[in-house]
Amino acid sequence: MTIPPSGAAKPPRAVVYRRHPRLDQAKRTWYFFRRNTLALVGLGILAGIGIIAAYSATLPLPWTSIPVYCATDYGPGDTQTGYPGPYVPVASCPLTVCTYETTPPPNANEYCKGAWYKTPVVVYTNSSNTSYISYAGALGPTLTLSPFSVGPMPLGGLTTDLGAETPLYNVAGALARGSDWSLMLSLSIVGFGAMTGLFVGAIAGFYGGIIDDVLMRLVDVFLSIPVILFVIVMVTALGQLIPVHGTSGAYLKLLLLIAGFVIIWWPFYARLVRGQVLVVREQKYVEAARASGASKGRTLLRHIIPNSMYPIFIQFSLDVGTIPLLIGALVFLGFGPEMFPAVPFPEWGAITALSVEDLTVDMLGSCYNGPCIICWWQLLFPGLALFFFGISVNLLSDGIRDALDPRLRR
């Protein structure tokens, strides 16, 4: 063995790059997460909703209202019923859908370029034995592929009233634009509420004492207020101060709706985080950080909060799916005009609430003196959108919980 002289240079050591421990933890979490099939299904559904939202942002659809059509119901003339013959445009509606009863009228190509849609008709007799025709004005669903690109009413029409000039809402267009608003409103409301509750709960649990008592009593006050009641009072009282017309007034109403939910939403996260912080602050690595001279602020931001956020992720994913349901409940209770700049508003909860109301009106109107017309597509497609959105976030939250908790890993 040759010993190098004392003055000779030593060979350089190989540089060893060590990965960040949080990167390794993220890889382990993803490994356990992708073993959960249902969690991947939920993630896939949410990814699909995100793709639809991104695509709908490129469509020429209004942002704060659903495109409104008018069903003209001007088919072939009938002298017995007095039903008019030629198609007459409806001046009150910028978009018009041409409808007929049994056979397409001869002027279909001339006036509507052949785009006529069959509308259901109910013949009923009143107490004086006089026959009448009730034009429901509800367009049937178009389930073929071509109407999705050229037809004005894919997936059927969403009606609000009966009559010859019935306002109709494009269900497919409303659901496409609703994906944007549902995701934005849900993520913004729950996101701001979670961040506020995270810092309030972390400060209360870490410092304790009088700070903990004051903050937790404030949390108890907010927790005693029902969410729906608080939002109703806030948007009703403060919404009167916002101008009705104009784009700025429209977005101010939406900001008021978000603020109302955030104010009442953060206490749930504050209490959840406080309980987690009380456990984390007693861990050995927190004591080591204090012993090494780390300040309270650094200990809180670098050690306490990062290790107390796992319950936040799970609760966050659960709450995202409930926001459209709460908005739908508010609209169903009749507080749509106070919350939104235009009704119907293209948000899945609002669309579903409107579909329930209109389906009830249509059934009562058509079933009173004759056979019923049940426009099932009015409730089916908005309900499916809410169902898939809610089930996807629940499946995703279960997968995140199993992946983050070592006791539940399989």
- pTM for the whole structure: 0.76
Residues 6+ apart with CB under 8 A from 324: 182, 185, 186, 347, 348, 349, 352, 386, 389, 390
Distance in angstroms (rounded) separating the CA atoms of residues 158 and 362 = 11
- Least confident piece of the model among 41-45, 49-53, 310-314: 310-314
In-domain check, residue 391: yes
**Are 94 and 189 found together in one domain?**
no
In a domain, 18, yes or no: no
Q: Are residues 305 and 400 in the same domain?
A: yes
Same domain, 164 and 192: no
Residues 300 and 206 in one domain: yes
Residues 161 and 255 in one domain: no
Domain boundary among 140, 172, 204: 172
156 with 185, same domain: the answer is no
User: What's the domain count of the chain?
Assistant: 2
Averaged pLDDT, 375-403: 83
pLDDT of residue 78: 46
Domain end: 153, 172, 191, which one? 172
Compute how many other C-beta atoms are within 10 angstroms of the C-beta atom of residue 284. Answer: 7
User: pLDDT tens, 136-180?
Assistant: 445 566 555 444 444 456 676 665 544 444 556 778 888 888 898
Is residue 313 a part of any domain in this protein? yes
Same domain, 220 and 298: yes
Angstrom distances, CA of residue 125 to CA of 91, 122, 131, 347, 367: 32, 10, 4, 39, 12
Residues 6+ apart with CB under 8 A from 243: 249, 252
Percent of the chain's residues with pLDDT above 70? 61
The reply to whether 95 falls in a domain is yes
Q: Residue 392 belongs to a domain with what CATH number?
A: 1.10.3720.10
Coil, strand, or helix at residue 111?
A: helix
Residues 98 and 189 in one domain: no
Per-residue pLDDT of 210-247, as tens digits, reads 998 999 999 999 999 888 888 888 888 887 776 655 56
Round to whole Å and give the CA distance between 223 and 241: 27
Q: Are residues 115 and 182 in the same domain?
A: no
Question: What is the length of the chain?
Answer: 410
Indicate whether 30 belongs to any domain: no
7 within a domain of the structure (yes/no): no
Same-domain pairing of 73 and 104: yes
Could you count the other beta carbons within 10 Å of the beta carbon of residue 194?
Answer: 23
Domain region containing 280: 37-60+175-408
The pLDDT tens digits for 69-112 are 666 655 444 444 444 444 455 555 666 677 666 666 666 666 66
Q: Is 8 contained in some domain?
A: no
In a domain, 24, yes or no: no
Residue finishing a domain among 172, 191, 210: 172
